[in-house]
Amino acid sequence: MTNTFVIASLYIALFIFGQRLISHWISRLAVNKQVSDTRAKLVTQYISYLFFGVMACLTVVSLGIEYQQVSLFISSVFAVLGVALVAQWSILSNITAGILIFFVFPYRIGDRIKVIDKDEDVSGVIVEISLFHVLIKRQDKIVITYPNNLMLQKGVLKLPKTAAKTQPQTQDKDHTQVQSD
C-alpha cells in the first residue's frame, strides 16, 4: 500500500515539475518568437493535456494494472476519438498545423506575405496567428482568414515591409547641344 502511494506521489511530482518546465520553455520560446500570450497559453494547454495523458498511462502501468488492460482502454479511447474526428479532420489538421506554426513558422505578426495560390490573391500583412487560422489584411483593407493547414501546404513569400518606390528610369540623353534658329 505504501509502495503504491510512493509511486503515485513520485509521478504526481514528476508531472508538476515537467508541467512547469514545459510551461517555462514555451513562454520563453513565445517571447523569442514574439508570439502573443494567448497563443502561447493555448499551445501550453494542449501540450499539457498530452503530457498528462502520457503520465497517467505510466502511472497506471506502474501501479500494477496489466499492460493489456491499459492498452485496450487507450486503443478504445483513440478509436472513439478517431471516429469522432474523421468527419472533422480539418479541425484536427488545423490544430496540428497551429502548433507547428507556433514552433517553426518563420513569419510574425506585422510581416507582409504572399501565399502562392492560383485562385485568389492572398497577400497582405499578418494581423493575427491563432490555433486554427491566420488573419491577413490586404491593402484594400479586406481581412482574409486563411486556414493553418493550407499555410503549411502552400508556398509563402515574405515581402518587404514597405513596397519599394519605383524610380523613374532616366533615359540616356544625347549630350550634344542642338542649335535652335
Q: CA-CA distance, 151 to 43, in Å (whole number)?
A: 18
Tell me what pLDDT residue 69 has: 75
Tell me what pLDDT residue 21 has: 92
Task: Give tens-digit pLDDT for 65-85.
Answer: 776 777 787 788 777 777 666
Assigned C-alpha cell, 115: 501565399
Q: How many residues are listed for the chain in this entry? A: 181
Tell me what pLDDT residue 17 has: 92
Residue 146: count other Cβ atoms within 10 Å of its Cβ.
Answer: 20
Which candidate, 67, 64, 131, places its Cα nearest to that of 99?
Answer: 131
Calculate mean pLDDT across residues 97-124. Answer: 82
Helix (H, G, I), strand (E, B) or coil at 33: coil
- Give every CB contact of residue 59 below 8 A, 6+ residues apart in sequence: 7, 8, 11
Task: Give tens-digit pLDDT for 122-171.
Answer: 889 988 888 788 899 998 999 988 888 888 888 888 888 765 444 444 44
Tell me what pLDDT residue 175 has: 46
What one-letter code names the amino acid at 106? Answer: P
Predicted structure pTM score: 0.53
- Report, in angstroms and rounded to the nearest whole number, the Rg of the chain calculated over CA atoms: 27
Task: Give tens-digit pLDDT for 45-65.
Answer: 888 888 888 888 777 777 777
Task: Give tens-digit pLDDT for 22-50.
Answer: 889 888 888 887 777 877 888 888 888 88
